[in-house]
Amino acid sequence: MLGSDYNGQACNIAAALEVVGERWSLLIVREVFLGVRRFEEMQADLGIARNVLQTRLTRLLENGVLERRLYQAHPPRYEYLLTEKGIDLWPTIVALMRWGDEHATRPGGPPVLLEHRGCGGAVDEHRICEDCGARLSARDVSARPGPGAVPNHPLVRRARRTAAA
């Protein structure tokens, strides 16, 4: 039977899985990359049980992937932000997204499209802008709803709020 950890493995993949290998962990990181930073929004978007979300957030905080920042004092409310260590997961998130676009296709197409903030070009599988050829980092890219986005997707909601403002 498979254990719940990888302590017996002398492998950096196993070490990484100790931090982000549980399925909710990478989905939480994805949410923060998409701009969802508050507990209630994450819980609603993911449909995750509150106790599971709290456990995963705590683990990501303890491992330095996320940091917590107070945004309201009374009652105390926090938002979750990526640390540099968390931002370093961006290539992994993009690779998983691209794999899903290729091998787990949704009706209508990809739910999320990435574009270069500098010129609006699409981001290829090597994280290079297809228009200007720039090598891109997480800070150079924005996400927008793709043709397969569902109506309640966080990017769709954010686009509606921006359009209404």
pLDDT at 1: 38
State the CATH architecture for 12-86: Orthogonal Bundle (1.10)
Secondary structure of 24-55 as H, E, C letters: HHHHHHHHHHCCCCEHHHHHHHHCCCHHHHHH
Confidence of residue 9 (pLDDT cuts 50, 70, 90): confident
Tokens at 147, concatenated: 């043709």
pLDDT at 114: 94
How many angstroms separate the CA atoms of 142 and 97, rounded? 14
Return left, alpha or beta for 105; rule: phi > 0 is left, psi -120 to 50 is alpha, else beta. Answer: beta
Element (H, E) at 68: strand 66-72
CA distances from 5 to 2, 14, 18, 53, 114 (A): 8, 9, 6, 19, 33
Domain boundaries, the chain: 12-86, 89-164
pLDDT, tens digit (0-9, with 9 covering 90-100), for 97-110:
999 999 997 788 99
pLDDT, tens digit (0-9, with 9 covering 90-100), for 23-64:
899 999 999 998 999 999 999 989 999 999 999 999 999 999
